Amino acid sequence: MRTLYFEKKYGVNIKDFKSTTEIDQVIEKSLGRSLKLTRCENPLVNHGGCVFKLREYNIEEYLNRKFH
Amino acid sequence: MASFDEFLDLYTGEFLPAYSDLVAYLADKPAGMLLDIEATFSHLMVYLTIRTDDPDAAQENLDRAYNHMIRLILDCHKHLWVVVSEQIDQIYRDDLKRKFTINTPEHVFIENYHRFKKSAMEARRLETQQIGRDHLGAIEKYRETTKLGLEMLANFDPDKMRHYNLFSIKNLLKEHGFAILVGGLIGGVLATLLCKALGI
C-alpha cells in the first residue's frame, strides 16, 4: 500500500485514482457531506511561499447579495 | 531538470497518496494546499502550451511545476504529521490516559513516542538540509514518521476512553459530591435569606 490511511479506511486501491476529485468523491460519499475548506495552518507548512493571508469567500452568497 | 514522465510519476506515485491520506484523515481540505495545486498546474499548462514553440521556457515551467509539486507533497505529509502528533501528545501528556486507554503496555507506548519524535526530528533535519534540492528523502522520512504515529494511534481504544471518562466523573462525584451538595444547600439558604432581607 502506498497510502498510510486512505486505502485501509475506504477499502480502495490508490492506483485506481487519477485525480483529486475522484479521491474527494470517495471521501464525501462516505462522510455523507461535501468536504469543506479549512484554514488549518501550522508553522511547519509553507504554502508555496505565499505570505498573504487567505480570505474565505462564499461566492454564491456574495452574488445573491449583489443581484437581489 | 525534470521530465514530463518524472512529473507524472511524482503525481501518481507521491502526490495522490499523500493528498488522499491528508484529506481522508482531516475529513476536510486545507485551503492553503490549493495555492500550490493552482501554481503547479498553472506552470504545467504553460509547459504544455509552449513546449514546441519555446522548449527552454517550457522546460523552465515544467521544472517549476515539479518543484511546486514536491513542496505540495511535503506540505501534505507535514500537515498530517502535525495532526497525528497533536493527538499522540494529548495521550502522552495525560498519565492516566496513557495507562488506561492504550492497548499496549505503557512502556512500549513511551518507547514508541520517543521513536516517533526522534524520527520527526530526523525528517525535519533532512528537510532543512535539502532546501533548494530534491526533498524526496525528507518526504519519505515524514511518511515513515507518520506511519509510526498512526500505528501508535491504532492502539488507542475509544471504548476504554469512554469507560475512563465515566470513571473520572464518578470519581469526581465520589470525592467532591458531598461538598458540592452541602455548598449548594448553604448557598441556596443564604440566597433565600438575602432575597427576603432585600425584599426581592
What is the ipTM metric for this complex? 0.77
Report residue B33: phi and psi, to 5°: -60, -30
Confidence of residue A15 (pLDDT cuts 50, 70, 90): very high
Cell of A65: 447579495
Can you tell me the mean pLDDT for A17-22?
94
User: All 3 cell numbers of residue B199?
Assistant: 425584599
Shortest Cα distance, chain A CAs vs residue B107, angstroms: 25
What is the nearest CA distance from A24 to chain B, expressed in angstroms?
8
B173-190: pLDDT as tens digits:
888 888 888 898 999 999
Average pLDDT, chain B: 89
Tens digit of each residue's pLDDT (9 = 90 or more) over A27-64: 999 999 999 888 755 555 544 444 445 455 565 676 66
Residue B164 distance to chain A (closest CA, Å): 26
Check residue A32 and report its DSSP letter.
Answer: T
Average pLDDT over residues B38-58: 94
pLDDT above 90 (res A19):
yes
Kindly provide the b/e burial profile for residues B159-181, where b requires at least 16 CB atoms within 10 angstroms of the residue's own CB. Answer: eeeeebeeeeeeeeeeeeeeeee
Cell of B164: 475512563
pTM value?
Answer: 0.78
Predicted local distance difference test score (pLDDT) of residue B11: 95
Give the sign of the dihedral formed by CA B125, CA B130, CA B131, CA B136: negative
Rounded-to-integer distance, Cα B140 and Cα B123, Å: 8
Contacts of B62 (CB under 8 A, 6+ apart): B2, B3, B4, B7, B43, B44, B47
Interface of A with B in 26-55 (CB under 8 A): 27, 31, 35-42, 44-48, 50, 54
Closest CA to B190 of B198, A8, A14, B88: B198
Cβ–Cβ below 8 Å for B82 and A42: yes
Of B188 and A67, more confident: B188
C-alpha to C-alpha distance for B193 and B187, rounded to whole angstroms: 10
pLDDT given for residue A52 in this prediction: 46
Residue B29 bridge partners (DSSP):
A37
Mean pLDDT, rounded, for B26-48 = 91
pLDDT classification of B39: cutoffs 50, 70, 90:
very high
Q: In degrees rounded to 5, what are phi and psi of residue A38?
A: -115, 160
**Rounded Cα gap, residues B200 and B194, in angstroms:** 9
Nearest alpha-carbon partner for B30 in A4, A11, A15, A48: A48
Mean pLDDT across the stretch B128-137? 74
- Under the banding of pLDDT at 50, 70 and 90, the label for residue B172 is confident
Residue B129 has pLDDT above 70, yes or no: yes
pLDDT of residue B75 exceeding 70: yes
Select the highest-mean-pLDDT range: A19-28, B22-31, B153-162, B167-176: A19-28
pLDDT on residue A56? 58
Spans of all domains in chain A: 6-67
C-beta of residue A6 within 8 angstroms of C-beta of residue B40: no
Q: What is the pLDDT of residues B148-167, one digit of tens each?
A: 999 999 988 888 888 888 88
- Give yes or no for B42 touching A (CB within 8 A): no
Note the pLDDT of residue B86.
Answer: 86
